[in-house]
Structure 1
Amino acid sequence: MSDTETERRAIAIERDLAHPPSRIWRALTQPHLMAEWLMQTDFQPVLGQTFSFRAEWGALTCQVTELEPERRLAYTWGDGVLDTVVTWTITPTPAGARLRMEQTGFRKDQPRYLMGATAGWPRMLDTLEQVLAKESGA
């Protein structure tokens, strides 16, 4: 196996949110809310469940690999070429919760995917914060 195949890269983003873990979990797992900040999906919070994300540019096929309600969610994220894992971790804080998103598994020869994720996830998390604020009536 070459270095290109074995060397993987990742991105991680953390946000402190003034919302309880239960509200953040809903936004990460309810398809109608996910569609507001991420993409259209048929996601179901069931370990091993296969689902898709759909957008104008195409679709991603995913599978739930970790599920710990209100704490941790992970799923594969791939399109036939890209083969990564997205992991969400929710940690309670006095003011609400810290949300960490990590996407791992970018191959060294996939710089455009990594650049796209690095640019895209902060915008999606900005929109997630707007959805959370709207859901809380703030």
Structure 2
Amino acid sequence: MTDISAQADLAHPAERLWRALTRPDLLVRWFTEVSADTGTPDRLLLHTAGLPGFDVAVDVEVVEHREPEALVLRCDEAGRLSRLTCTLTSTVEGCRLSVTESLEHGRWSVGQRADRERYYQHAVSGRLPAILDWMAFREVDLRRAEGPATVELPVTPLFDQPARDRRRLVWVAVLVGLVLVAGAGVWAALPAPPRPVAAPGPVTPLPSSAAVSSPPARPTA
């Protein structure tokens, strides 16, 4: 078998998927880095060396470009020639991407072919949907930034309240005043706290019996 294929059903429009397939800044996020030939815009270099199933970088020439339906590339991988076809088909939920690589000259080993097909399938069914989701969120953010605010909180001045609301505020103020007056009356009716009793002064020691004894009798003549 000389064909490698991968397929994924994506919940995104074909136009968004087409951008992910053809823009180098998006392609690098889910497949590999791409370099363009400044002299020939239809020639590209896919930096696939080191990826599963790839030995070296791949020289690519765009041979068919039908936006947003099909992209066909002629690939030269160090003398191994193949044709890579990406087909986009619209579905009810979005679109289906079918990737097929047909070998035209040279051969793949059994292990290389299996690794390559597995890498294609992982890229289109794992990494690519994540990038498409990211692109969709960015588009929503851009539309939100360009348009008016989606949610505006209403701000109503206090003096524009209806008369019923103003009366409610007056009644609340009156009730608060009555509570304060009642509290002040209760506070005034409370008995005064007792005066503090002065601490006793230091105790003066009593004189001893020796200190209070009578003086000695004077001698008689």
TM exceeding 0.5: yes
- State the 1:15 CA deviation: 1.2
**Mapped partners of 1:114, 1:62: distance in 2:** 19
- State the 1:77 CA deviation: 2.3
Query: What is residue 93 of structure 1 aligned with on the other side?
Result: 91
The aligned amino acid for 1:131 is I
* 2:67 corresponds to 1:74: no
Instruction: Say whether the 8 Å CA contact 2:42–2:61 is kept in structure 1.
Output: yes
Residue from 14, 27, 42 that aligns with 1:21: 14
Structure 1 length as normaliser, TM-score? 0.82
Q: Percentage identity across aligned positions?
A: 22
- State the 1:108 CA deviation: 7.7
Tell me the SS of whatever aligns to 2:68: coil
Query: What is residue 190 of structure 2 aligned with on the other side?
Result: none
Residue from 8, 12, 36 that aligns with 2:29: 36
* 2:116 corresponds to 1:117: yes
Q: Which has the higher contact order (CA 8 A, sep 6+)?
A: 1
List gaps (5 residues or longer) in structure 1: 1-7
Range that drifts further, 105-114 or 117-126: 105-114
The aligned amino acid for 2:21 is L
**Mapped partners of 1:18, 1:99: distance in 2:** 11
**Mapped partners of 2:104, 2:112: distance in 1:** 7
Number of aligned pairs? 129
**Mapped partners of 1:60, 1:11: distance in 2:** 16
Tell me the SS of whatever aligns to 1:73: strand
Tell me the SS of whatever aligns to 2:118: helix
Distance 1:56 1:113, change over 3 A: closer
**Mapped partners of 2:36, 2:13: distance in 1:** 22
Distance 1:101 1:43, change over 3 A: farther
Tell me the SS of whatever aligns to 1:36: helix
The aligned amino acid for 1:16 is D
Distance 1:132 1:97, change over 3 A: same
List gaps (5 residues or longer) in structure 2: 51-55, 139-221
**Mapped partners of 2:88, 2:36: distance in 1:** 19
Distance 1:83 1:108, change over 3 A: closer
Who wins on radius of gyration, i.e. which is larger?
2
Query: What is residue 137 of structure 1 aligned with on the other side?
Result: 137
Structure 2 length as normaliser, TM-score? 0.53
